[in-house]
Structure 1
Amino acid sequence: MRAILEVRNLAKAFGAFQVLEDVAFQVQKGEIVGLLGPNGSGKSTLLNIISGFIAPDKGTVMLDGRDVTSVPTFRIVNEGLARTFQLPIMPQKMSVLEVAMAADTTMHGVLPTLFRGAGFCKAERDTRERAMQLLDELLLTRVMHLPASAISGGQKKLLGIVCALMARPRLLMLDEPTAGVHPNLRQDIVRALHRLNDQGMTLVIVEHDMHFIREACNRCIVLDQGHIVASCKPEELASNERVVQAYLGASVEEARAQIMQKEVA
């Protein structure tokens, strides 16, 4: 079966600092893959290269068999890959619902009527219905008429997921979706991601929170100092000496103790 995402020998340096070197991996359709590693390991740079925000120095990104290396971001979205951002910035004068509707990439040339007070055409009605459905699935219905800038940080992350889904992607990449999020909302995010996966969505989740990865993912790719040091199941992380040393700077026994403490809490 052809991988939905294949990364071949990517490398990227900023000046003398080599951020990524010979990074290669595949993501199969229907997987939930966690991409994790310590701060500075190259996770965000890798995500930015895959999603078209920066170009690699060398290497190839294949999306469902097509070369999308250094292709403009909007074309990558049209090819079926969407992403979220770690710190989503929302417009101050648009409601949550309006932001979701504005993210529909099929509405070019039609969407401005939303803000002129004109009646809805069929395309607009379809966009509104899809936005409201996604807001409901991501638990944002009760805030959909509030200014998008006024909702909580966790809700903004959920809205970011809604906006990405409005592009109808086949592959969704999430940049630290639970960083700074209240623990109760964190569980809602985990459940929402599993529902999306049950509907056929492939997910790649960039995270440094190993506990969240264990809850959400069925495979992990671990980066350290620009290199992949492991590709394994989440339950194997704590017994992988190279992962533990790179990610926690601790022994395997100490890592197990930390994970057990988090699970009990």
Structure 2
Amino acid sequence: MNAFLEVRGAAKAFGGNQVLSDVNLQIAQGEIVGLLGPNGSGKSTLLNLITGFTPADAGSVHFDGAPIERLAAHRIVRTGMARTFQLPSMPTKMSVMEVAMAAATAHHGVWDTLLGTPGARQAEGDARERATHLLHELLLTPVRDLPASALSGGQKKLLGIVCALMARPRMLLLDEPTAGVHPNLRRDIVAALQRLNAQGMTLVIVEHDMHFIREVCTRCVVLDRGEIVASCRPDELARNERVLQAYLGTAAATTTPSTPSAVEAA
């Protein structure tokens, strides 16, 4: 595999709790990879480590051939990698459009914006045009003037995707984009992610919804107790012994005849 993102020997502990142990992960350009695992398996920690929000204790992260493990989160965004969060928090005094515009300001430089340089004015015009386009693409145009904090949970997740896309990333990492989302909005998120991938975006998605995983992902990587135990197609998950052990325990995996449906429901 020609790796677009490569994690080598990543390890992370919090106190005496070893959350990640010698994790090796490769993502090819154009893939949609689901990052799965039971609660506490290390999925969010791995996402934070890749995107610069948590420093690794050991290991390296390369994106498009360049090391990024020592970069701050905002500098990683500038390399072409962006992310969303499981529980996006939105400001109470900014509209949906203003939040999207602020995401562009953070990427291009707040000081130039405050000083009103010609370059900043051009960037602001470009950002407004892009925000308008993205809000339309993710079906948020009707609420663009509402306070961002007034959105539903699903709409906040859509706005989180808009904010990440304002930086024009080549890879997008999403932390449980459909958790707690109304089924209608869930369909909108699925369609949006499929469009992004068709346009060349590489996606890494932390998710528990197996229906979503089967519908969207081309490959699944399964974590258990801080280690990768499987890398396979979504339709192979329910037949993978290591995956069954991760979700059900060794004894249950070897004695329970209904284990495939149990994994699918996880």
Is the TM value for this pair above 0.5?
yes
Aligned to 1:210: 210
For 2:265 and 2:43, how far apart are their aligned partners in 1? 26
Aligned to 1:191: 191
Query: How many angstroms does 1:4 deviate by?
Result: 1.2
Give the alignment's TM-score, normalised by structure 2.
Answer: 0.91
Aligned-partner SS, 1:53: coil
For 2:264 and 2:224, how far apart are their aligned partners in 1? 23
Worse-superposed segment, 125-134 or 239-248:
239-248
AA aligned opposite 1:184:
N
For 1:21 and 1:122, how far apart are their aligned partners in 2? 46
Instruction: Give deviations 1:67-119, integer Å, cap 9, x for gaps.
Output: 111311111011111110000000101000110011011253354589xxxxx
For 1:179 and 1:215, how far apart are their aligned partners in 2? 15
Quickly say closer, same or farther: Cα 1:71–1:191, change in 2 above 3 A: same
Q: Does structure 2 conserve the Cα–Cα contact (< 8 Å) formed by 1:32 and 1:219?
A: yes
For 2:263 and 2:227, how far apart are their aligned partners in 1? 24
Q: Does structure 2 conserve the Cα–Cα contact (< 8 Å) formed by 1:153 and 1:180?
A: yes
Query: How many angstroms does 1:182 deviate by?
Result: 0.9
Counterpart among 255, 261, 265 of residue 257 in structure 1: 261
Unpaired stretches in structure 1, ≥5 consecutive residues: 115-119
Quickly say closer, same or farther: Cα 1:194–1:230, change in 2 above 3 A: same
For 1:154 and 1:136, how far apart are their aligned partners in 2? 16
Q: Does structure 1 conserve the Cα–Cα contact (< 8 Å) formed by 2:100 and 2:162?
A: yes
For 1:64 and 1:112, how far apart are their aligned partners in 2? 33
Instruction: Give deviations 1:132-190, integer Å, cap 9, x for gaps.
Output: 10011111111111000001000000000000000111110001101111112111111
AA aligned opposite 2:165:
L
Q: Does structure 1 conserve the Cα–Cα contact (< 8 Å) formed by 2:244 and 2:263?
A: no
Match status 1:108 vs 2:110: yes
For 2:147 and 2:231, how far apart are their aligned partners in 1? 41
Measured on the aligned residues, the alpha-carbon RMSD in Å equals 2.0
Match status 1:224 vs 2:224: yes
1:153-164, aligned counterparts within 5 Å? Answer: 153-164=153-164
For 2:122 and 2:57, how far apart are their aligned partners in 1? 45
Aligned to 2:122: 122
Aligned to 1:31: 31
| Structure with greater helix share of residues | 2
For 1:260 and 1:60, how far apart are their aligned partners in 2? 32
Match status 1:151 vs 2:148: no
Aligned to 1:20: 20
AA aligned opposite 1:108:
V
AA aligned opposite 2:94:
M
Quickly say closer, same or farther: Cα 1:248–1:135, change in 2 above 3 A: farther
Query: How many angstroms does 1:210 deviate by?
Result: 2.3
Q: Does structure 2 conserve the Cα–Cα contact (< 8 Å) formed by 1:7 and 1:24?
A: yes
AA aligned opposite 1:197:
N
Query: How many angstroms does 1:260 deviate by?
Result: 7.6
Q: Does structure 2 conserve the Cα–Cα contact (< 8 Å) formed by 1:154 and 1:182?
A: yes
Q: Does structure 1 conserve the Cα–Cα contact (< 8 Å) formed by 2:113 and 2:121?
A: no
Instruction: Give deviations 1:169-219, integer Å, cap 9, x for gaps.
Output: 111000110111111211111111000000000000011222221111000
For 1:37 and 1:70, how far apart are their aligned partners in 2? 27
Aligned to 1:89: 89
Aligned to 1:235: 235
Give the alignment's TM-score, normalised by structure 1.
Answer: 0.91
Worse-superposed segment, 253-262 or 88-97:
253-262
Unpaired stretches in structure 2, ≥5 consecutive residues: none
Q: Does structure 2 conserve the Cα–Cα contact (< 8 Å) formed by 1:2 and 1:65?
A: no
Aligned to 2:200: 200
AA aligned opposite 1:227:
E
